[in-house]
Amino acid sequence: MHSYMNIKKSARISHDFWEVTTRAGMFDIVAAGLGDGRHRSLADGHEFVNMSSYSYLGLDTHPKIVQAAADAVLAEGSLNTSTSRMRIRFGVLRDAEDALSELFDVEAITVASCAAAAWASLPLIASGLFTDEQPPLMVFDKNAHFCLNAMKPNVADEAPVTTIAHNDLEALEELCRTHPQVAYVADGVYSTGGAAPVAELLRLQEKYGLFLFFDEAHGISTVGERGRGVVLEEMAKAGGINDRTLIITSLNKGFGASGGAIFLGRKGAQQRRDTALRNGGPLMWSQRINTAGLGAVLASAEIHRSPELKELQARLAENVDLFDRLVPTALSGDGLPIRFVDIGAEDATVRLAEGLLKHGYYASPIFFPVIARGKAGLRLMLRANMSSAEITEFAGLLHELRDRHV
């Protein structure tokens, strides 16, 4: 028991984090949306800018996407088919998956969330269905997202599981040398910042046949041609995704729509698609992206094919550069929108976050058990629809309050 998960222990350890965050007024804020990442608290009318929004391109409030969501529901006259997609599905589901497949040159299947995509796909890889019927050694990066690590008990029922230090290529290569089949589970862009060494991982794949599994929830849309993200952008140098790689992603972060998706391989990988749909847990259930969300996916895909995407990516890059000049961090210069401002002490981090919120900026404080003890700080996400004035004011407040509280 508890070889890979211990929920009771986790609940006990995380209790103080949630209590402190709640008392500080940084948890469960009920708010109205004012557009462009601004909100108004329904409790006291306090207005603030969300500095921890995952909508990196600001597409969550794009008029075309909002309108398409409403239009799709009205066109179908229903929010769902309320049965398994394997039996009955609306045309908008087919159209959304076709649009994603064409956009990213992959075989895409949609699912209710990125977490559900992990649930659906990781056991399939562990079973050996994608590795010549031989279950691989499943190697998890220590910093892989919780939705991946939470799948370890299920994965361990199919294949051996081990965990290595973050981005430890040397340890991974040693495992490749000593095991006939290895699958590596990692994030393309990590939720606390930084990226996987994709080019080096592809070299290991070429040398040893390593199977690569990436969670690209934070990479898709923000960078790359047509918003294909960190992993597919690197893979494009060798002709695109291959049959030894599987990618899952969120469609409600940078993509600005709803749900998640699995990229199973090159467009037209019908056998792999059939295998996933017939054996992939959540893919077979009656839970999926609803009709409104599918309409939003179609509209976002259209934006991704238009010149507007490059304009949004350029605006995001300018905002990231501005922030890096004003608030240097360990991640400065990586070209990605996630930043972690290291504070250290948990109480100082919470006081700093409280002070920022009072001045109109929400910045998410994170500390143990989300990250290691003594490594508390603020997790920030830059967006294309932030103004330079907002970033400059926030940076000034951050420096002023940090000097006061740390």
Task: Give the pLDDT band of residue 406 (cuts 50, 70, 90).
Answer: low
Alpha helices in 197-332 (DSSP H): 198-208, 229-235, 270-279, 291-304, 307-326
Structure-token pair, residue 388: 């330079």
pLDDT over 80 at 337, yes or no: yes
> Which among 335, 334, 310, 329 is positioned nearest to 379, based on CA atoms?
329
Q: Give the pTM.
A: 0.95
Cα(6)–Cα(29) distance, integer angstroms: 29
| Cβ-contact 22, 188 below 8 angstroms | no
Alpha helices in 157-269 (DSSP H): 169-178, 198-208, 229-235
Domain boundaries, the chain: 7-50+307-405, 63-304
* Whether residue 369 has a cis bond before it, omega within 30° of 0: yes
Measuring CA to CA, which residue among 267, 285, 292, 268 is closest to residue 93? Answer: 292
Give the pLDDT confidence score for residue 370 in this predicted structure: 74
**CATH 3.30.300.100 applies to domain 7-50+307-405:** no
Is the pLDDT at 21 greater than 80? The verdict is yes
CATH of 63-304, one of 3.30.160.20, 3.40.640.10, 3.40.50.150, 3.30.830.10: 3.40.640.10
Distance from C-alpha of 343 to C-alpha of 350, rounded to nearest angstrom: 10
pLDDT tens per residue, range 4-15: 878 888 888 888
Q: pLDDT category, 372, cuts 50, 70, 90? A: confident
Listed in sequence order, the residues at least 6 apart from 87 whose beta carbon sits closer than 8 Å to its beta carbon are: none
Distance CA 326, CA 232 (A): 31
Distance CA 406, CA 138 (A): 41
pLDDT digits (tens, 9 = 90+) for 23-56: 888 889 999 999 999 999 999 999 999 999 999 9
Tell me: the pLDDT tens digits for 114-133?
999 999 999 999 999 999 99
Q: For residue 22, what is the enclosing H or E element? A: helix 7-23
